[in-house]
Amino acid sequence: MKRVRIKSKELPYNYPVSKKDAVEKCITEDYVFYVVNGTPLFFECNDEVIPTIKCLLKEPLLATVTVDMGAVRFVVNGADIMGPGITSFTESVREGDYVAIVDETHGKVLSVCKSLINGDTFVVGTKGKVLQNVHYVGDKLWNLL
C-alpha cells in the first residue's frame, strides 16, 4: 500500500479537519482512498469520490434511504436494494447519485449505494432493483484499516 500525505483542502466534500490532523491518500491494488488520522473517510469508485460508512457515521454527507429490518441482512451482505425493502426515499435524489442506506429501527448507516432511479418517482412498493450497493458494512474496504 502506498501512502502519500496530502493537504486537507484536497479532501472532497469540504470535510472538516484541523491543521493537526494527518491527511493521507492511500493507493492499494483494489482501492484509492483518503484517510484522516488512520480512518478511511473517502474512496474512489468509477472516477468518483464517495464517503465511506465510517465517514457517514461521523458526518452525514449523503441523502438517506431507509430500508425495513427484513432487508438489513441482505444489504450488509452486499445485495443491491429492491423497491419492496425501502420504506422511505429522499425526493431530491437523482439517478446516479450516491445515498446512505439506514435501517428503520436504529437509523444507522448500513451501506452506500448508487441510485438507479430519481427520488421523486419512487413509490413505496416499487418492484425491481432501485439501488446498486457499492460499499457495505463488513466488505473489504470496511475491514481495510
What is the CATH classification number for the domain harbouring 32? 3.10.450.120
Residue 142 lies in a domain: no
CATH number at 95 reads: 2.30.130.10
60-70 residue pLDDT tens: 999 999 999 99
pTM: 0.89
33-84 residue pLDDT tens: 999 998 899 999 888 999 999 999 999 999 999 999 999 999 999 999 999 9
Write the DSSP string, 127-139. Answer: -SEEEEEEEETTS
77 and 112, same domain (yes or no): yes
Which residue range forms the structural domain that includes residue 130? 60-136
91 and 111, same domain (yes or no): yes
Residue 106 has pLDDT above 60, yes or no: yes
What are the strands, taking DSSP E only, across 74-115?
81-82, 86-89, 98-103, 109-115
- Confidence at residue 46, expressed as pLDDT on a 0 to 100 scale: 83
85-99 residue pLDDT tens: 999 998 899 999 999
Residue 131 lies in a domain: yes
- Confidence at residue 52, expressed as pLDDT on a 0 to 100 scale: 94
64 and 119, same domain (yes or no): yes
DSSP 3-state of 41:
strand
